[in-house]
């Protein structure tokens, strides 16, 4: 592919007025570095032009991740974008802000902390890293106990539902832990606590419960799981504990459902992860994991280094990372406070109900998500003999909407759903507009010849 040709300074000035000649007339190489430099405004414009072909983040209703923040927070992020968070000695205030966030979140989740006692946790790149760290802590705790008892410690397993996010499968594969999944069934798309406890054995390092399933937004019954597991531990002498994956629900439940017991109020919950970049209201790149007590995080997993200018402790999978998201999380926590977060979550839920009711009124959809849980609507077609969910999702793209269609995991693979996630920047107007566009798409599909809109790929 040819190199770009820039107009020389002695060219006719009238040529400079055309858009292409101001930047490039020929294409840049795509898979190797160009030989020559180009002006900064040309580089900017070339990239900006190509990025226009991306979807609109605010119309990406597949994602749980925050797509809007206040301009003041945007400004703080830009001002701190050149700070490497790992340089704690050089950026002590950023480190202090991270510690404040950990303590606020630990207390929000009812960690048993005394006055002045510090919470135990760490900021991560996202919930995937947070889950890896929590899983490693459970694995090491279990191995240490088995070694002390003179028992085999080479076949650890963990119990989850088949609805877990792929990061749990990654943890199991990367760190050699068997994943024992409770299968789903039509009409029940979360882990059954009774079946989960039945699968627990002496090699189980923990049971992972989800507060806000990716598939339907539903909260799993952590209270029932805790009670059943307490009874089994009493009968067997085991000490199997619970990790709560609250990636989506951790910043929802405390504000909308404060009486719901799912967190450190339950004695077997030893660690919790939450995504700051989901309903924590921060742009992508920040997660948190907190532990019940310091004793739940084995000391041998924490590294001590001094080559950055001072002694410091680190427990992360990666090393360098930006400070911007940590600072943004602190901004949101103090800017909104409990009242502000509750208002945001209330508004999301109200818009979810508007969309839910609008879809029900079409008479074409079965709603499979619950009213209590993450603010989303998951739904399937009542009649897919003429067209299916994949075709509906494809046709909605013409209006700019990005809405996923997917099949459920085992043993509910025959069920296909569409899902719309309601975030802070999804307004009432957009909810009403989306219902209108659904109606347009359904009408167009009804006009197609039979079978033309029913293939899986449209």
Are residues 258 and 193 part of one domain?
yes
Residue 259, C-beta contacts closer than 8 angstroms, at least 6 positions apart: none
Spell out the SS3 assignment of 194-261. Answer: HHHHHHCCCCEEEEEEEECCCCCCCECCHHHHHHHHHHHHHHHCCCCCEEEECCCCCCCHHHHCCCCC
- Residue 314's pLDDT band (boundaries 50, 70, 90)? confident
The Cβ-side half-sphere exposure at 451, using a 13 Å CA radius, reads 0
pLDDT above 90 coverage of the chain, percent: 79
List the 365-367 sheet strands across, edge first. Answer: 365-367, 376-381, 416-421, 405-407
| Domain annotation covers residue 95 | yes
pLDDT higher than threshold 80 for residue 46: yes
Rounded alpha-carbon distances, angstroms, from residue 298 to 140, 141, 154, 205, 274:
7, 7, 18, 14, 21
Domain identity same for 36 and 120: no
Residue 11 has pLDDT above 50, yes or no: no
Domain end, chosen from 279, 305, 332, is at 332
pLDDT given at position 25? 75
Residue 275 belongs to domain with CATH number: 3.40.640.10
Q: Are 24 and 43 in contact (CB under 8 A)?
A: no
Burial class for 261, CB neighbours closer than 10 Å (0-12, 13-18, 19+)? middle
Cβ–Cβ under 8 Å, residues 84 and 322: yes
Higher pLDDT, 455 or 212: 212
Same domain? For 240 and 290 the reply is yes
Same-domain check for residues 187 and 321: yes
Identify each DSSP E strand in 337-424 by its residue range: 365-367, 376-381, 405-407, 416-421
> Rounded mean pLDDT of 180-198?
96
Question: Across residues 126-144, what is the average pLDDT?
Answer: 97
CB neighbours of 348 closer than 8 A, spacing ≥ 6? 279, 375, 422, 423, 424, 426
Q: Rounded to an integer, what distance in angstroms lies between the CA atom of residue 182 and that of residue 135?
A: 18
Q: What is the mean pLDDT of the chain?
A: 92
Shared-domain flag, residues 105 and 250: yes
Q: Are residues 253 and 399 in the same domain?
A: no
Average pLDDT on 88-99 reads 90
Helix (H) or strand (E) holding 181, with range, is: strand 178-182
pLDDT of 3 strictly over 50 = no
pLDDT of residue 90: 86
What is the extent of the structural domain holding 367?
Answer: 348-446
- 106-110, 306-310, 376-380: least confident range: 306-310
Instruction: Confirm if 196 and 174 have CB atoms less than 8 A apart.
Output: no
Q: What is the mean pLDDT of residues 158-168?
A: 96
Q: Please give the tally of structural domains in the chain.
A: 3
Q: Does residue 246 contact residue 288 with C-beta atoms inside 8 Å? A: no
Contact 126, 275 (CB under 8 A): yes
User: For residue range 47-77, what is the model confidence (pLDDT) as tens digits?
Assistant: 999 999 999 999 999 999 999 999 999 999 9
* pLDDT score for 205: 98
Specify the higher pLDDT residue, 11 or 365. Answer: 365
End-to-end Cα distance, the chain? 34
| pLDDT over threshold 60, residue 310 | no
Q: Are residues 25 and 92 in the same domain?
A: no
Same domain, 326 and 257: yes
367 with 292, same domain? no
């Amino acid at each position: 592919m040819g190199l770009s040709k820039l107009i020389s300074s002695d060219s006719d000035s009238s040529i400079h007025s055309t858009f292409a000649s101001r930047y490039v007339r020929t294409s840049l190489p795509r898979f190797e570095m160009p030989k020559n430099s180009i002006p900064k405004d040309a580089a900017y414009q070339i990239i900006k032009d190509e990025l226009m072909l991306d979807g609109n983040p605010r119309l990406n209703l597949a994602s749980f991740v925050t797509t809007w923040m206040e301009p003041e927070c945007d400004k703080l992020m830009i001002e701190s974008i050149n700070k490497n968070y790992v340089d704690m000695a050089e950026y002590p205030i950023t480190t202090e802000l991270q510690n404040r966030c950990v303590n606020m979140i630990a207390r929000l989740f009812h960690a048993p902390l005394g006055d002045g006692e510090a919470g135990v946790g760490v900021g991560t790149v996202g919930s995937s890293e947070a889950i890896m760290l929590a899983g490693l802590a459970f694995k090491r705790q279990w191995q240490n106990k088995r070694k002390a008892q003179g028992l085999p410690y080479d076949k650890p397993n963990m119990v989850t539902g088949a609805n877990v996010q792929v990061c749990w499968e990654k943890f199991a594969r990367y760190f050699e832990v068997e994943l024992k999944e409770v299968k789903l069934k039509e009409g029940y798309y979360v882990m059954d606590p009774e079946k989960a406890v039945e699968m627990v054995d002496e090699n189980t390092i923990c049971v992972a419960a989800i507060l806000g399933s990716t598939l339907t937004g539903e909260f799993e019954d952590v209270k029932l799981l805790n009670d059943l597991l307490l009874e089994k531990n009493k009968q067997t002498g085991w000490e199997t504990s619970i990790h709560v994956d609250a990636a989506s629900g951790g910043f929802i439940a405390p504000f909308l459902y404060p009486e719901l017991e799912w967190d450190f109020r339950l004695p077997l919950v030893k660690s919790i992860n939450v995504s700051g970049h989901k309903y924590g209201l921060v742009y992508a790149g920040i997660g948190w994991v907190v532990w019940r007590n310091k004793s739940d995080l084995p000391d041998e997993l924490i590294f001590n280094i001094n080559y950055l200018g001072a002694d410091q402790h680190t427990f992360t999978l990666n090393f360098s990372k930006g400070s911007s998201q940590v600072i943004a999380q602190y901004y949101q926590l103090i800017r909104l406070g409990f009242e502000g977060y509750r208002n945001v979550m209330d508004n999301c839920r109200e818009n979810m109900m508007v969309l839910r009711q609008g879809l029900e009124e079409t008479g074409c959809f079965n709603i499979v998500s619950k009213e209590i849980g993450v603010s989303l609507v998951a739904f399937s077609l009542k009649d897919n003999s003429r067209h299916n969910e994949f075709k509906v999702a494809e046709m909605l793209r013409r209006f700019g909407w990005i809405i996923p269609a997917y099949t459920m995991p085992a043993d509910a693979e025959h069920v296909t759903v569409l899902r719309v996630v309601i975030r802070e920047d999804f307004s009432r107007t957009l909810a009403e507009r989306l219902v209108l566009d659904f109606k347009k798409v359904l009408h167009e599909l009804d006009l197609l010849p039979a079978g033309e809109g029913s293939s899986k790929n449209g």
